[in-house]
Structure 1
Amino acid sequence: MACPFLNDPVDEGAALLRRELNLRREMVIRPRIDVLAFPDSCLVERYRFTSQSIIYIHNLIRPYIRNITKRSHALTSQQILCVALRFFANGSFLYNVGDAENLSKSTVGRAIRKVCLALKRLLPNFVVFPGSKPVTAIKEEFHKIAGFPDVIGCIDGTHIPITAPSRNEAKYVNRKSTHSINVQIVCDAACIISDVEAKWPGSFHDSRIYSESNLSNRLQRGEFDGLLLGDRGYPCQPRLLTPYPDPEPGPQENFNQAHCRTRARVETTIGLLKARFQCLRHLRVAPERASDIIVACVVLHNIATIRGEQQPAVQIEDPDDDDDPIHPPAIQDGEAVRDTICNNHFNN
């Protein structure tokens, strides 16, 4: 039998005797990193936020993430937040984040989970449709882009790749034969996200997600005075306008050009979201956990935009409808609204 007084007994008998003698390994406390001691340029590169914004976010979620005790040299709430921000920013494996922060993989996983659930609580405060500004101001900001009237939001879907789940795997296979979550995003002219649906498998089409969303029901009930702009992946409806599929020269072409320039804001917003939080390039977690991470990143994106944080370089992705064979037919009332706007505002 191996010696039970060695730190790593090599057989079961030695390990049993060690437990009986109550011999414990010496606890090794890894040195903690003081994140806020770094200059803001380093913080933005690694965490996507300056020190003042990190303090602001920490003050918002501290009650939900702090450890009740300090046993075993527990992380402070600020350290928990910074660990999660580092994962959101670079999207690396948990052990890579742990190595960078001098933490174990399990500690990193728990920190990310805590922060995700805390930020999810803030969703109603930071993601509000049609926005925190008056509706008239939102319409004016959209109108300045290309002269399109009465717009209160632009809508689009984007796929967030995930690892193949163990349950209902087929539902998450999208039209490109990869596994993903199809996320519906609505934004305003300032690239602030005003609505998000992050629970749908990749096999679900944009039009179905919209038709079953709470936002669609609210628009149909007439709760908002304004229009959404969407691509051809959506049906043309009285409150959701899509471009003409085969525009005639003149007003219809002018309508489509203005529609395209205005709707480009949602593509820019999605590009900013994914560039700022590289974890959204591929999530190696179960779909339910992936949905929570996406929502957390949306909340953080709005906080960063509102606080004027440095924007990352954006690579606009190809529109998802370019190779999408499904183009839902327009509704007659929707076509009538589209024709009225086309004739009244784009006849020159």
Structure 2
Amino acid sequence: MDLFESSSSSSAEDIPMYLELIPDNRIFRDRTNPFDMYDNEEFCARYRLSKESVTNLMHACYNNIAPVTHRSKSISAMNQILCTLRFLATGTFQAVIGDTVGIHKSTVSRILKVVLREFARIAREKVCMPDEPVAIQNTKTAFMAMHGFPNVIGCVDGTHIKIQSPGGENSEIYRNRKGYFSYNVQMVCDPNLKICSIDARWPGSTHDSTIFNASMLRMQMEQEYENCILLGDSAYPCRNYLMTPVAHPRNVAENNYNNAQIHTRNCIERCFGVLKRRFPALALGMRIAKETALTAIVAASVLHNIAIEENNILPAPEVEIPEVLHEDAPLGDAADGNAARREIINTFFN
């Protein structure tokens, strides 16, 4: 009998057992090298940081993300960083991100968890309030030069970062009053739109004042900063270190105060706009686990500060960023806050 003769009576049952045990060959995809493919402007448009900034970032994280072996076409530290930056720059599906780099979506998921955690790890160094006397005075001078508001070291506000439904019994606490799931993230910025403080652990239904009252920022302002002021909107109670607008101005001095306060505080709104334009994943929503999304918010803040420090150009958005209004009901003011605000109005705006 001819062993190679085909027979119509052959079936899957005739296949020898040893052939069924042979695994499929692994498929290795070709991986691109964006450093060679794009000039610096095109590279920055796709990855939101310049080639030099990405190189510096890789050196800072290399020891913790570099592959332990080069066998089986392991993914280099640079490709891991670029994969993560591309995710933040687009907020698209992980399968699409994997296709641009040449890896599977499950690998993208593992990379995001590791690299975002490494970016967030340097937040203590890159996201911090001014603490040296010279730095504090320079910040006050810069804010004063804007619209004449004295002793300001930062502007505080909250912004909603959209996430997918976290699921579970407590998922509804993440639904904000706009109807979508989010984290309500408190930030403080300086006159250059750098983020000085971030508290990203609160679900979207939490009020701004609740976040502030439970934050490390409040303790810092009460215990470490003397004769220093934060500017906030009417969602915060007025305190001697936190100035809010006068709800119903009755004279020229109060109107002057409100104009200076609102125009100076505008820098935190612009900071949110620049942050979400640079990393649209924060505006469009992240299709990742809520714990990873939390890490991504802190990581994006670190990268935002790096981009400002190293004068990276803000590229035009690849997608339309929706405008998110953040308004809260006015709160009652504390007595000491009212007295401090009245003193500022009489001294500087009368």
Taking the TM superposition and a 5 Å limit, the aligned residue runs for 1:114-125 are 114-125=114-125
**What is aligned with 1:46?**
46
TM-superposed deviation, 1:288: 1.4
Report the CA distance shift for 1:240/1:317 in structure 2 as closer, same or farther (over 3 A): farther
Q: Is the 8 A contact 2:44 2:315 kept in 1?
A: no
User: Which aligned pairs between 1:138-177 and structure 2 lie closer than 5 A?
Assistant: 138-167=139-168, 168-177=170-179
How far does residue 284 in structure 1 lie from its aligned partner after superposition?
1.4
Q: Does 1:269 align with 2:275?
A: no
Per the alignment, residue 64 of structure 1 pairs with: 64
C-alpha distance in structure 1 between counterparts of 2:47 and 2:109, whole Å: 17
Identity between Structure 1 and Structure 2 (%): 35
Q: Deviations over 1:250-304 (max 9, x none)?
A: 0000000000110000000010000000111201122211110000000000000
Answer yes or no: is the 8 Å Cα contact 1:272–1:312 preserved in 2.
Answer: no
Report how far residue 26 of structure 1 moved. Answer: 2.0
Aligned positions of 1:200-279 closer than 5 A: 200-279=202-281
The aligned residue for residue 105 of structure 1 is 105
State how far apart, in whole Å, the 1-side matches of 2:147 and 2:19 are. Answer: 75
Letter of the 1:24 partner, please give it: P
Show CA shifts across 1:194-252 (max 9, x none). 00011100010000000000110121224454100000010001111100000113000
> 2:318 aligned with 1:298, yes or no?
no
Is the Cα contact below 8 Å between 1:47 and 1:86 reproduced in 2? Answer: yes
What residue in structure 1 maps to residue 75 of structure 2? 75
Structure 2: runs of 5 or more not aligned: 1-10
Name the CA distance, whole Å, in 1 between partners of 2:286 and 2:190: 26
Which residue number corresponds to residue 349 of structure 2? 346
After superposing the two structures, state which structure 1 stretch, 308-317 or 103-112, moved more.
308-317
Is the Cα contact below 8 Å between 1:130 and 1:153 reproduced in 2? no
Aligned partners of 1:94 and 1:108 also within 8 Å: yes
For 1:320, the equivalent position in structure 2 comes to: 326
Query: Cα deviation per residue 1:118-156 (whole Å; 9 max; x = unaligned)?
Result: 011101000011368610000011111100000000001
- d(CA) in 2 for partners of 1:327 and 1:11? 74
Corresponding position of 2:337: 334
Shift, 1:319, TM fit: 4.7
For 1:269, what is the secondary structure of its paired residue? helix
Which of 275, 291, 302 is the matching residue for 1:288? 291
Corresponding residue SS for 2:156: strand
Residues 45 and 315, structure 2, Cα contact 8 Å, conserved in 1: no
Q: Tell whether the 8 Å contact from 2:174 to 2:183 is kept in structure 1 after alignment.
A: yes
Deviation of 1:24 after TM superposition, in Å, equals 2.6
Distance 1:195 1:334 in 2: 22
CA distance in 2, matches of 1:138, 1:278: 29
3-state DSSP of counterpart to 2:159: strand
Q: Does 1:96 align with 2:96?
A: yes
Cα distance in 1, alignment partners of residues 128 and 218 from structure 2: 15
- Structure 1 residues 165 and 153: alpha-carbon distance in aligned structure 2, compared to 1, 3 A threshold: same
Q: Which of 133-142 and 76-85 deviates more?
A: 133-142
User: How far does residue 312 in structure 1 lie from its aligned partner after superposition?
Assistant: 3.9
1:9-43 deviations in Å (ceiling 9; x for gaps): x97996974464xx232222211111211201111
Q: Decide whether aligned partners of structure 1 residues 178 and 149 sit closer, same or farther in structure 2, where only a CA change above 3 A counts.
A: same
1:292-323, Cα deviation, whole Å (9 max, x unpaired) = 000000000000000000024597946512xx
Alignment correspondent of 2:25: 26
Distance 1:41 1:73 in 2: 29
Q: Distance in 1 between matches of 2:83 and 2:16?
A: 34
Say if 1:131 and 1:194, in contact at 8 Å, map to a contact too. no
Equivalent residues, number = 333
In 1: Cα distance, 2:151 partner to 2:245 partner: 16
How many angstroms does 1:64 deviate by? 1.5
Displacement of 1:60: 0.9
Taking only aligned residues, the RMSD between alpha carbons, in angstroms, comes to 2.1
> Against the structure 1 CA distance between its residues 92 and 175, is the aligned structure 2 distance closer, same or farther, given a 3 Å change threshold?
same
Structure 2 match to 1:6: none
The 3-state SS of whatever aligns with 1:327 is: coil
- Structure 2 Cα separation of the partners of residues 311 and 247 of structure 1: 38
For the residues of structure 1 that align with 2:68 and 2:287, how far apart are their CA atoms? 29
Q: Which secondary structure state, in structure 1, belongs to the residue aligned with residue 238 of structure 2?
A: coil
Q: Residues 11 and 95 from structure 1, CA distance in 2 versus in 1: closer, same or farther, beyond 3 angstroms?
A: farther
In structure 1, how many angstroms separate the alpha carbons of the residues matched to 2:98 and 2:142? 43
| CA positional deviation for 1:112 | 1.4
Tell me, in whole angstroms, the C-alpha distance in 1 between the residues paired with 2:49 and 2:16.
Answer: 47
Matched with 1:7 is none
